[in-house]
Amino acid sequence: MLWNDNGRSSNIEDRRGLGGRAGMGIGGTVVLLVLSLIFGRDLLTPSQQVSRTVAQSDGRLAPADSAREEPEVRFVSFVLDDIQATWAKVLPQYHDAKLVLFRDATDTGCGTGQAAMGPFYCPLDEKAYIDLGFYEELKDKFQASGDFAQAYVLAHELGHHVQHILGTDAQVRRAVQQNPGSANALSVKMELQADCFAGVWAHSTEQRRILQQGDVDEALTAAASVGDDRIQKRATGTINADSFTHGSSAQRASWFKRGLDSGDPRACNTFES
């Protein structure tokens, strides 16, 4: 991917040298439970365990770590700004999200977030969260390397921000509250739509000729690598489609490709497919 080092984005919130807090009231617990159902991630259990993790950290970012990660910070800054500039042109009502960089654990509007949850988006504070160590996991554990694989991850999370602006997540939240049994199926539709929205942004990079050879394959590999079937097979040796929360590898790659080919968010209506 061709990109320019424009420094740090004004929408980056760097908390890597800060500790988190584990306090959360009953209201926050309910919010986390509902969001866990929608987004298919256990946001509740990590928040209950996080106090021990934070207590073991002195809250400081070592200078060597800061210097090592700075090129990655500059890269995600470029990608973040490029994605949001693209959506501002596509959706008149679009407004920027913040991207929080953290280490181990941090407070969010949805409760306490933990690196073990992977990158995530919180609609209650309109912020995406990532521990940059995830990119090493993406490369080593999921065998998805390359800068456009990393860009896909950010584009997917900002796809959830687009859903929030459009009111999709609120509609899904109400549907899950009325029928908890629909949570997994609706979670899959939410995640696949976010993949498709990521593809819409990728289409714009293709049009602007900042894609390089192999970039699309990197993103498709990344999308497929985090499919529920591959994750389940790696973890348990079996696949249970009824428990999918993000979609299969084939589905995730297919919906990203649909957004990439069309460049049109209207092609991303997973709820009617």
pLDDT of residue 50: 37
Token pair in block for residue 266 = 């209207």
Give the span between the Cα atoms of 226 and 153, in whole angstroms: 10
pLDDT of residue 24: 41
- Please, what sign has the CA dihedral across residues 143, 132, 255, 270? positive
pLDDT of residue 63: 56
Residue 44: how many CB atoms within 10 A of its CB?
19
pLDDT of residue 144: 87
pLDDT of residue 61: 61
pLDDT of residue 262: 97
Quote the pTM value: 0.85
pLDDT of residue 43: 54
Put residue 28 in one of left, alpha, beta given phi > 0 → left and psi -120 to 50 → alpha: alpha
Residues of the chain with pLDDT under 70: 19-65
